[in-house]
Amino acid sequence: MASMYYSELALDHAESPRNVGVIQEADGIGVEMNPVCGDLLTLFIKVQDGHIADAKYQIRGCAGATAASSVLSELLIGASLEDAGRITFQSVLDALGGLPPSKLHSAALAEVALKKALAYYQSRGTR
Amino acid sequence: MPDRLIYLDHAATTPVRPEALEAMLPYFSEQYGNPSSIYRLAQEARKAVDEARQKGARILGCRPNEVIFTSGGTESDNTALKGVAFAARQWGTHIITSAIEHHAVLHTCQFLEKFGFQVTYLPVDGEGIVDLRELEAAITDQTVLVSIMYANNEMGAIQPIAEMGALIKSRSRALGRSIAFHTDAVQAAGALDLNVTRLGVDLLSLSAHKFYGPKGAGVLYLRRGTPFLPQQQGGSQERFRRAGTENTPGIVGTAVALELAVAEQEEVSRRLSGLRDRIIREVPRRVPDTRLNGHPTRRLPNNVNFSFEGVEGEPVLLGLDFAGICASSGSACTSASLEPSHVLTALGLSADLAHASLRLTLGRDNTEADVDYLLETLPGIVARLRALSPLARSAD
């Protein structure tokens, strides 16, 4: 049964992803694609007073990628920019209770999209 | 867990049917003798193996001693290709196969390339069929073996094996040399004609667990006179062509299951092709941007393969699993390799569409009610996934 393959928590995020959507006036946007398997993640962040006030995303990919994006949005909302900058694929994996070995790239996708969104925000700030 | 389980993955495996199981049971711990031993206990096992071989021969339309029992489709394919190639290498080192074979054939061909064989991988058209003219053009005076699968496990395409058999025979006569013809008939058993004379094949592979027999059991048909170097040494079993103590219960179960599958073939195929055609007709009506992979009619009666644009196959499988439906996908996300299905890409599908595929394979226990439930469940799963996607069409 396929559901034995993912942790309960990862399955829950995959079946009921949190915070899906688009932020129209986003302060940071990160788009990342895995060209091999076709996973595509678009991450939006809203920043207020040095904190991530809101995070939303759209995802096309496997259940692992959906779960990783969903849990990333939870980790982000309310986090300071400093803490957000320290989120890695490992933080995503830990928050999900792990992913199957063949799905580690899903967590990496989330990390890269976040790095890009933060870089985008910082490049805007210094303009 | 939903309270119903609808199994739509019969191309992966099938349950052992009760008649086969019942026939197998005595050979585990009652008639457990080694068929090679001399006492009466063992002779019961010998008799069971011989009877199974005769049943197999009747179905294939061959001599009993042309039936070799193996551990399954993968062994049959490996043994067929290596057995012929190594026996015939003094006459030639060219092998022809197709781009859509099972890995048991493709990887064996790649293995043989390391030993100096040259392999031609014939392409297929957009619906998965090998062109006879391409096969004819590929045959050279170095060709010793052609291996083309009878029916494809992923998208069900049926190859014109009998026409290929006749073509190979006539080319082989014109060239004044023998070219062995093997077909992987693993998915064809119980759906298509298995008569080796009508098909014109010299070798044919079967796997019992695809036709409601046990796992770990299969058949290799080997026409008398075909160049063949046994690939397993260590005993005189199967006339020295496959050493190792016979898997008596497996062999008995294989023969019973094969006999019943062939007896029911016409009725089951007619019923399943009705269910198949209903799925093929109804799903695209309920799920926009659905593509049918494979040929609309020249396909196995139990096989449906769709690609849903913009959706990954793996979460579709997960959603179906939650609803109690077992299916499979050519998406790489269901494997460790990340590579999409070589069969779907050979049809010309982009990697995206191959990742977006869903395979549904029906079986003898499926009903109209199962199809009703699938048609109720599937559209919502695809729609929900599409709504998450950055590529989703905006509703407003």
All residues of chain A having their beta carbon less than 8 Å from the beta carbon of residue B388 are 17, 20, 58-60, 66
Q: Is A124 left (phi over 0), alpha (psi -120 to 50) or beta?
A: alpha
Closest chain A C-alpha to B358 CA, distance in angstroms: 13
pLDDT for position B331: 75
Give the span between the Cα atoms of B241 and A10, in whole angstroms: 50
With CB atoms and an 8 Å threshold, state whether B390 touches A40.
Answer: yes
Average pLDDT estimate for B343-358:
94
- Please check whether residue A3 lies inside any domain of the structure: no
In 3D, which of B389, B319, B338, B332 has the Cα closest to residue A41? B389
- Please check whether residue A1 lies inside any domain of the structure: no
Q: By the 8 A CB rule, do B8 and B364 touch?
A: no
**Which residues, 6+ apart, have CB-to-CB distance to B362 below 8 Å?**
B8, B10, B272, B275, B276, B301, B302, B303, B304
Q: Which domain holds residue A63?
A: 8-123
Give the span between the Cα atoms of B99 and A1, in whole angstroms: 30
Please name the member of A2, A60, A105 whose beta carbon is closest to the beta carbon of B318: A2
**Which residues, 6+ apart, have CB-to-CB distance to B145 below 8 Å?**
B81, B84, B85, B88, B95, B96, B179, B180, B181, B182
Tokens of A27: 């302060």
Closest chain A C-alpha to B154 CA, distance in angstroms: 19
Q: By the 8 A CB rule, do B294 and B380 touch?
A: no
Helix (H, G, I), strand (E, B) or coil at A60: strand
Beta bridge partners of residue B292, listed in sequence order: B306
Q: By the 8 A CB rule, do B209 and B72 touch?
A: yes
For residue B336, the chain A residue with the least C-alpha distance is: A102
Q: By the 8 A CB rule, do B304 and B359 touch?
A: yes
What does the pLDDT look like over B31-43, one tens digit per residue? 999 999 999 999 9
What does the pLDDT look like over B290-302, one tens digit per residue? 999 999 999 999 9
Average pLDDT estimate for B136-161:
97
Exposed/middle/buried for B54, CB within 10 Å: 0-12, 13-18, 19+? middle
Check pLDDT > 90 for residue B182. Answer: yes
**Which residues, 6+ apart, have CB-to-CB distance to B107 below 8 Å?**
none
Kindly state whether B309 is in contact with chain A, defined as any CB-CB distance less than 8 angstroms: no
- For residue B388, give the DSSP letter: H
- Per-residue pLDDT 10s for chain A (127 aa) are 344 589 999 999 999 999 999 999 999 999 999 888 889 999 999 999 999 999 999 999 999 999 999 999 999 999 999 999 999 999 999 999 999 888 889 999 999 999 999 999 999 865 4
Give the span between the Cα atoms of B17 and A24, in whole angstroms: 58
- Please check whether residue A2 lies inside any domain of the structure: no
Check pLDDT > 90 for residue B332. Answer: no
Integer CA distances (angstroms), A21 to B116, B178, B350, in order: 56, 65, 27
With CB atoms and an 8 Å threshold, state whether B333 touches A62.
Answer: yes
Which residue reads 């079993």 in tokens? B237
pLDDT for position B333: 65
The two beta strands, B143-147 and B203-207, are unpaired
Beta bridge partners of residue B42, listed in sequence order: none
Beta bridge partners of residue B205, listed in sequence order: B184, B220
For residue B385, the chain A residue with the least C-alpha distance is: A60
Q: By the 8 A CB rule, do B358 and B377 touch?
A: no
Give the span between the Cα atoms of B52 and B48, in whole angstroms: 6
What does the pLDDT look like over B351-371, one tens digit per residue? 889 999 999 999 999 999 999
Please give the share of chain B, as a percent, with pLDDT higher than 70.
Answer: 97
Check pLDDT > 80 for residue B214. Answer: yes
| Annotation marks residue B62 as catalytic | no
pLDDT for position B335: 62
Kindly state whether B322 is in contact with chain A, defined as any CB-CB distance less than 8 angstroms: yes
Give the span between the Cα atoms of A57 and A42, in whole angstroms: 5
Tokens of B47: 């008799």
The CATH number for A53's domain is 3.90.1010.10
CB atoms within 10 A of CB B121: 17
Check pLDDT > 50 for residue B395. Answer: no
In 3D, which of B341, B250, B357 has the Cα closest to residue B304? B357
Residue B336 φ/ψ, nearest 5 degrees: -85, -15
Check pLDDT > 60 for residue B1. Answer: no
Give the span between the Cα atoms of B121 and B119, in whole angstroms: 6
Q: Which amino acid is at B104?
A: A
Give the span between the Cα atoms of B257 and B260, in whole angstroms: 5
With CB atoms and an 8 Å threshold, state whether A1 touches B321.
Answer: yes
Give the span between the Cα atoms of B87 and B231, in whole angstroms: 10
Q: Which of B62, B109, B326, B333 is catalytic?
A: B333
Residue B177 or B179, more confident: B179
Average pLDDT, chain B: 95
Instruction: Give the rounded distance of the alpha carbon of B257 from its chain centre.
Output: 16
Find the helix packing angle between A63-76 and A104-125, rounded to 10°: 40
Terminal C-alpha separation, chain A: 52
- Please check whether residue A100 lies inside any domain of the structure: yes
- Please check whether residue A56 lies inside any domain of the structure: yes
Give the span between the Cα atoms of A66 and A11, in whole angstroms: 10
pLDDT for position B393: 62
- Please check whether residue A22 lies inside any domain of the structure: yes
With CB atoms and an 8 Å threshold, state whether B335 touches A15.
Answer: no
Q: By the 8 A CB rule, do B26 and B252 touch?
A: no
Number of domains comprising chain A: 1
